[in-house]
Each structure stands twice: as structure tokens, then as C-alpha cells.
A and B are shown apart, each in its own frame.
Chain A
Amino acid sequence: MAVTATDTHRAIEAVWRIESARLIASLARIMRDVGRAEELAQDALVAALEQWPVSGVPDNPAAWLMATAKHRAIDQLRRRALHARKEEDLTREIEEQLEAAAPASVDDAEQEIGDDLLRLVFTACHPVLATDARVALTLRLLGGLTTAEIARAFLVTEPTIAQRIVRAKRALADARVPFEVPRGEELALRLASVLEVIYLIFNEGYAATAGDDWMRPGLCEDALRLGRMLAELAPGEPEVYGLVALMEIQASRSAARVGLSGEPILLLDQNRARWDQLLIRRGLSALARAEALDGAGGPYALQAAIAACHARARTADETDWPRIVGYYDRLARLAPSPVVELNRAVAVSMAFGPATGLALADALTSEPALAGYHHLSAVRGDLLFKLERLTEARAEFERAAALTRNTRERDLLLERASRCRPA
């Protein structure tokens, strides 16, 4: 949507950012189709762009958009039904829709929109979709981002994202994915998919896998907003708080982890005075919520607990590494993965010395999942460096530099390689 820079258009954009997810969610319940719901919401936006510059922004712009979109939704249902069904079916259906569209009180309406939003979250992150489709759809439907904004964030062209979203909406319709919150055993699996999508968005912002910037803070903020929103929608789910805690604490280091010329600064070298205490506090309290819900042992809560160990240490030397190793042990048992093992190796090296850590890291070199993973080479380079095996360290740093797709990270690794000379 091309929006020119007039005041009204900017105001409309702001209203859209706040209201679009709620709008789409409510419409999706009426239409039973997320794709159609999004189109109707877009139509309402177009109507606002046409009318508000003339009539002025209404007193309650959210209600205006909702009323306009719902009116069109019911219109569409009526027309569709006229084609296919008998008059009495039609009347009953429309009455049902109208009833659904008119809750008894403001509080009921809020509750209902909350339920619809949660359904929308689970639909956008449905496993029938490929991961990149889930990510794009979530940012679009729940984050209120435009196609252009998503494209910019992921360094791909706008038509690529537009196509991805169109295909995703079609895939949901083809698979007849119901607009509902999963129950019972399915809930845990589906929630894991939702959390994965949000954390992927965060990570792409926190440590961009490609491109010239080490961080893209906009994406971190989008992910945090989604996570905080989800915690309000599903207040009984400890892992949601675990993920929020993890993201808040990681985001607290944003300012400290980029140097003046955009180069990455690693955790233990960061100026802790620049860590954002507000986000740390928020993170620690989210972690406490996860623990209070008996969720201390969940994979995100464990990662958050590790992040919290760093956050609590006033200096790098005060870090409680044995405790961190303990969390990694639990994480490795719960969700075994070579990447967790690699992080565990780093923690072990800090707690018990580089030689012990290196032995663990070396064992991972034959791991197919880590073939071509630059962090493995970077960690080995670091441990070899500490053991003063400089020739080997240099080769590992150079290998890591060749493997990363992020230019800032590559510069840092090459710089470390260049320092691997005998003193």
C-alpha cells in the first residue's frame, strides 16, 4: 500500500499498525478464511485512505475500520450464499454471523478479539506451511507489516514476499485449516511452532544471517511485540514467558553488542553499563512467571535462565559458568542438538578450562549438521588460541570467516585470525 506523506495518511498507517491484527482476526472468524479476511481488512484500509482525507479521521478510527470491514464481510457472505443456497439457510447463516459480530459488552468484545487473535496466531504458524511462509504470514497478519517492510527486513524482493504470502494463504485454504486454537496434545506441538516462528524473527534481527548489518533491531522489536502480545493471549503457557524472557534479556544487550563502526562485540567484551536494565528487569520477571507456572525446565526457559546468568553478573569474570553448564546439560537432554552441544562446550571451557571445552568441540567436527557451520570453527579457533596453538587457531578463524555470510562477522573473524601470530 503506497501511502503518501500527508498527515492523514500517516495517521491511517499508525491506526493500521495497531488495529490490523485485531481486524483480520475478527474477520477471519466470520469468513472462516484468513486470506479473505486479510483482503477485506485491506479493502477497509483502502476505504479509509479514500474517505478520511476528505471527511477527517473519525473519533474512533478502530471502530470505523471494524464496522466497514464487517459490513463488507456480511455483504460477501450474503452474495455467496445467494448463489449457492436456499433463502432460509441464507437467513440463518447471516443471523449467525451478525450475532457473532455483535458481542454483549465491551469486555466480551475484548475477550472475543483476544480469542480470535490467538486463533490467528496458530493459523499463521500452522505446520502445513513452510517456515519462511509462516514467518512472512505472521509478520503480515499479526505484526501489521507491509509486504515491502517484510521484504526489506529479509533482504529479498517485494514480489518474492508477496508471492510467499499469496501461496501461504492458498495453502491454508487448500488444507482447510480450521480457524481455531488447537486442544489437548496438539496444543504443545502447535505452540512450539508458534514460538519457533517468533524466535526466528527475533534471531534474524539479532544476528542477521546475511548482509552488511550485524543486527536489524526492527525485527527484534517486531518479535518482542509479538511475544509480549502472545503472553497476554496465552497467560497460562510457561514457554511463552520463557521465550519472552529470553528475547527481553538478549535484546537488553543490543546497544552493547555493536561497536562504533558497526562491528560485532562479543558478550564477554561488552560494556555492561550499556545493557538495558529495563529490558533485563522485564526479562527476569518473565522468567519468574515461567518458573511460577512450573515451566523452569522448558527449552526456552532454560535458555532464558542461561541469559539471566549473564544478565546478573556485574562483570564477565563474575559469570557463574558451572551453573550455566548445568543449564546446558539439562537443555542437551531435553532438546539434543549439535548447536546446544557447541554452546555447552563453550560454557565448559569457561568453567573448567579451554582443553576440556576443546575436546567437546572437536567431537562435534564429524557432526554432519554442523558441516559448514561457522560458529563451530570460530569456537575451535578461540579455544585453540587460548591454548596457544596459534597456527591451528588461525586456520579455524579463517575457515569460519569463509563460511559466514555476514560481512561484519567476517571482518571480526579475519581480524582475530590476523592476531594469531606467535608473540
Chain B
Amino acid sequence: MRFMMLMIPKGYETAKPGEMPDAKAVEAMMKYNESLQKAGVLLALDGLHPPSMGARVSFEGGKPRVTDGPFAEAKEVLGGYWMIQVKSRDEAIEWAKRCPGSPNEVIEIRQVQEMSDFPEDVKKAAAGFEALQAKSGQRTGS
């Protein structure tokens, strides 16, 4: 199963455009990332520029509306994420605990939805089921 470890650094909601973590923190984080990689559990990771460089698109009233960052109402924002593949939620938690996080940082762990988690109607919608059914078994190879 896959989990996202979402890094939420307190204070990042007001960070200036281009603000970067300091070299020491990056170095510690690189070691950590390496340990995930070495264990074969890391699928992807990225750090995100501060929200002051981003934008939000909302759909209130059924119409898209764009707001440039920073976002006054946001109490928590993402600073980055890791995508890992592990055996259990507990293993994801154990990996998160090993992160050299700063006192202002929180990691939220969220399981990635798999097709098998969905009810039948959602599965059908996702699979383009009818079209597939019609073609199924006409060809070979695997």
C-alpha cells in the first residue's frame, strides 16, 4: 500500500516568495531521504515553493475563481511530500517518526486510495468499464 507523508511546516503559510530551508536542515533531510531510498520504500518526493508563489482556484457558486497567494485564511500549508510504498499504516508511521523534523513541523500520513477501495459504481466509472468489456479478450499478450 502507498502512503503520502505530507510535510506541514508551521509558519510556511506566510513565507516570502523564494524562501528556502537552510543548508543544515537540507543535509539532515537528504540523509533521511537516502534511508527511505535504501530501504526500497521511496517512490517519489518533492518540496514545494511557499504559497506566496502559488495560487488557489476555488469553485464557489460553480465558477472557478483564482486567488493569488499567500492565503490569509490558511492555517496550515504543505511544504512537500513523500510517496512511500509500505506494508502497513504502522510502517508508514514508523518511517515518519524517523524524519529529522523541526519543532514547527508536522507530518500528516495519508493512505493513497486504490481502485479496490472503491464501491462498484465508482470502479466502473474509473475503468471506462463498458468500452473495456466490449473489447475484452479480442487480443492476446500480457
Contact = CB atoms under 8 A, between A and B. Distances in A.
Interface residues of A, number: 44
Interface in B30-65: 37-41, 43-44
Contacts of A13: 88, 90
Contacts of A18: 39, 91, 94-95
Interface residues of B, number: 37
A340 interface: no
Contacts of B83: 278
A267 B136 contact: no
Contact of A269 (B94, B120, B123, B136): B136
Interface stretch (B8-16, B18-26, B125-133): B125-133
Interface in A398-418: 412, 415-416
Nearest to A343: B141
A14 B85 contact: no
A382 B141 CA distance: 10
A57 B34 CA distance: 24
B38 to A, nearest CB: 5
A268 B141 contact: yes
A317 to B, nearest CB: 11
A268 B139 contact: yes
B40 A225 contact: yes
A43 B132 CA distance: 52
Given A225-B40, A260-B127, A282-B43, A11 B136 contact: no
Contact of B41 (A225, A379, A412): A225
B116 to A, nearest CB: 9
Interface in B95-142: 95, 114-115, 120, 123-124, 126-129, 131-133, 135-142
Contacts of A416: 137
B91 A224 contact: no
Contacts of A298: none
B91 A14 contact: yes
Interface of A: 10-11, 13-15, 17-18, 114, 207, 221, 224-229, 232-233, 255, 257, 259-260, 263-269, 271, 273-274, 278-279, 282, 316, 346, 378-379, 382, 412, 415-416, 419
Given A17-B91, A278-B43, 16 more contacts: A11-B94, A14-B88, A17-B87, A18-B94, A225-B40, A229-B40, A259-B136, A264-B142, A266-B139, A266-B140, A266-B142, A267-B139, A269-B136, A269-B139, A274-B127, A382-B140
29 contacts: A10-B88, A10-B90, A13-B90, A14-B88, A14-B93, A14-B94, A207-B142, A221-B85, A225-B40, A226-B40, A227-B40, A228-B37, A229-B38, A257-B142, A260-B124, A265-B136, A266-B141, A267-B139, A267-B142, A268-B140, A269-B136, A271-B127, A271-B131, A273-B128, A279-B43, A282-B43, A346-B140, A382-B140, A416-B137
